[in-house]
A and B are shown apart, each in its own frame.
Chain A
Amino acid sequence: MAQEVSLRETYGETLVELGMENPDIVALDADLCRSTMTQLFAQKFPERFFDCGIAEQNMVGIAAGLAASGKIPFASTFAVFAPGRCFDQIRMSIAQPKLNVKLVVTHGGISVGEDGTSHQAIEDLSLIGSLPGFTVIIPADAIETAQAVRVAAAHLGPFYIRLCRPKLPLVYDQGYRFVLGKAVTMRQGGDATIIAIGLMVKAALEAAEGLKRQGIDCRVLNMPTLKPIDEAAITQAAAETGAIVTAEEHLEHGGLGSAVAGVVARHRPVPMELVAIKDTYAKSGKPAELLGRYGLTAGDIEKAVHAAIKRKR
């Protein structure tokens, strides 16, 4: 079994490296630095770290002011609180003025687990993805996380990077290079394409293995940059495999599935199935139990692939 590594710790460690390389890197948190792991930066650079207390709206505004004055602020909290708690602040103080703020949020999705509904961000991609000019990234493992954080620091403009709470098995080796806006072909195949993000990438690879045993040859794409999305890769997958399944730890509405469907409908209509949470809130439970209950397992992806292929002409 692949080694499991924390995305959050990787974020904190990468932020410290960036802080050493560039004095303009600053970090903010809203009293969750021990969970988001910005505490690593806080310990190393106390004068460049601002704990704003439990006040996400204010944190976003301060980050915007820092960015407008030449700093590169990384602001962190749980995905449910940003954008959830401070959508208008993100809209008017960051997105509209295109300021160079990096929102790196943790505890995305239902894999948060036992804390339950209030802490499970399942709408965040819909909210943040609706804001013009935001770049949205959902890394699939720790290696991709480190690179995405570095890419965000190097690019001007607003970024949203969504991490999950649990450690994840590595799906990449150290030689991997994240390229902004590009899908990554994790596996070639011609019968259907599974497009996944975050922890669903590993599930997609498992599903593809299972399907192979049934004689179905699936392509698997990781789509770490949800926005701007890689339209060419989606169009090519639709043309070459004729069926698409998306898999995400988010509501069906407004996430990866919606974005992919928009591209498919415009450029190459093919049957599509969405593996996502169906218009409901989840509840407390162990992450694996929740992923099972709400239809986000490798088995669910397999079923969706069968359904999509059945609809092929």
Chain B
Amino acid sequence: MSLPKRSNPKTSAKSAKAEVFSLSVAEMEAVAKRLRRHIITMIGKAGSGHPGGSLSAVEILTTLYFKVLRHKPQDPNWPDRDRFILSKGHAAPVLYSALAECGYFPVEELLTLRQMDSRLQGHTDRTVTPGVEMSAGALGQGLSFAIGVALAGRLSARDYRTYVLLGDGECDEGQVWEAAMAAAHFKVDNLVAIVDNNGQQIGGWNRDVMNLEPFNKKWLAFGWQVIEVDGHSIPQLIQAFDQSKRFKRQPTVIIAHTIKGKGVSFMENNPDFHGKAPNAEEVKLALKELE
């Protein structure tokens, strides 16, 4: 089993030094496809992991890492970097794929996912992986952490922005709403939450497990600016991130409507692939669909 090669290594090499990657939409769509192939390949090799919620977040991470974030892959602790915090830590494969494509570590390392002594732990670990801002996996903790990061930026008069990705199912956790209340109270306008609203959690559809609706009204009621987009549309995501910069004295949430397992027909909207690896045959089928 091998990983897909970067379609344009020249661009990647050049971009590795840049503060902001500025890929065209077409280039980003190509990156998104590579991320999907990485996700399938690495989880297939590992034999366990969470493909569904990784695939649903591919365009969100692609847009952030290749268009929005100001970052230096060769200098992961650069103090002025924009921060991306993955709160839904089980989607580690999509983050690892994006980081590898940016040049934080070699793409080949993705094949070590979940192996003993790998830097790519089953859920994110900020102590071992370059570019990973937070140790996550216990759901509901990322938004609080992101508020702290954003407040520190404000206190230090650094102009970085903080982005945090939550799962919709993750919003069952009470801590998310403690944090939602606090972010509005502290008026952290350098903070953007994105919800990967794929409608499903491990036990099935959210509406059956624990209804979240009316979801946007909850965020509005907690004092947030709310933007809703098609989470698989890179142009819509770019526009939403641009728009979030204009909101002052209020945090922004981008509710990104997505499809769990997006891009692989037999994984789409299938909660069985929340936390199950594809077998060898399924990997082959999936990669064929992602050619």
Contact = CB atoms under 8 A, between A and B. Distances in A.
Contacts of A88: 138, 141
Contacts of B153: 69
A46 interface: no
Interface stretch (B48-56, B174-182, B194-202, B273-281): B174-182
Interface stretch (A56-64, A189-197, A224-232, A267-275): A56-64
Given A58-B178, A97-B134, A64 B148 contact: yes
A45 B158 CA distance: 19
Interface in A50-74: 50, 52-53, 55, 57-71, 73
A64 B5 CA distance: 37
B152 A66 contact: yes
A68 to B, nearest CB: 6
A96 B127 CA distance: 8
Contacts, number: 107
Contacts of B136: 92
Contact of A71 (B126, B137, B138, B152): B152
- Interface SS of chain A: helix
A48 interface: yes
A266 B217 CA distance: 59
Nearest to A70: B152
A62 B146 CA distance: 7
A93 interface: yes
3 closest A-B pairs by CB: A65-B148, A61-B144, A69-B152
B172 to A, nearest CB: 14
A61 B175 contact: yes
Contacts of A66: 148-149, 151-152
Interface in B129-163: 133-138, 140-153, 155-156
A50 B126 contact: no
A47 interface: yes
B138 A92 contact: yes
A58 to B, nearest CB: 4
A88 to B, nearest CB: 5
Given A58-B175, A58-B179, A93-B135, A68 B155 contact: no
Given A68-B134, A92-B137, A97-B126, A60 B144 contact: yes
A6 interface: no
A61 B140 CA distance: 10
A97 B175 contact: no
Contacts of B125: 96-97
A61 B143 contact: yes
A89 interface: yes
Interface of B: 79, 125-127, 133-138, 140-153, 155-156, 174-175, 178-179, 181-182, 185-186
A52 B140 CA distance: 16
Contact of A61 (B127, B133, B141, B156): B141
A91 B135 CA distance: 10
A145 to B, nearest CB: 26
A53 B148 contact: no
Choose among B133, B145, B147, B148 the residue with the greatest number of A CB atoms under 10 Å from its CB: B148
Nearest to A66: B148
A49 B134 CA distance: 23
B182 A55 contact: yes
Given A55-B182, A70-B79, A61 B155 contact: no
A98 interface: yes
Choose among B141, B143, B155, B182 the residue with the greatest number of A CB atoms under 10 Å from its CB: B141
Nearest to A57: B175
A73 B147 CA distance: 13
A89 B138 CA distance: 8
15 contacts: A26-B155, A57-B144, A58-B144, A61-B141, A61-B142, A61-B147, A63-B148, A64-B148, A65-B146, A68-B134, A69-B148, A71-B148, A89-B144, A92-B137, A97-B127
Given A26-B155, A47-B155, A68-B133, A62 B182 contact: yes
Nearest to A60: B144
Contacts of A53: 178, 181-182, 185
Given A69-B153, A97-B126, A62 B79 contact: no
Contact of B147 (A65, A70, A91, A98): A65
Choose among A53, A61, A63, A64 the residue with the greatest number of B CB atoms under 10 Å from its CB: A61
Contacts of A55: 175, 178, 181-182
Choose among B140, B150, B175 the residue with the greatest number of A CB atoms under 10 Å from its CB: B175
Contacts of B126: 68, 97
A128 to B, nearest CB: 17
B135 A96 contact: yes
B126 to A, nearest CB: 5
A97 B148 CA distance: 15
Given A53-B181, A57-B144, A58-B178, A65 B151 contact: yes
Contact of B151 (A58, A62, A96): A62
Given A61-B141, A92-B138, A98-B127, A70 B156 contact: yes
B135 A92 contact: yes
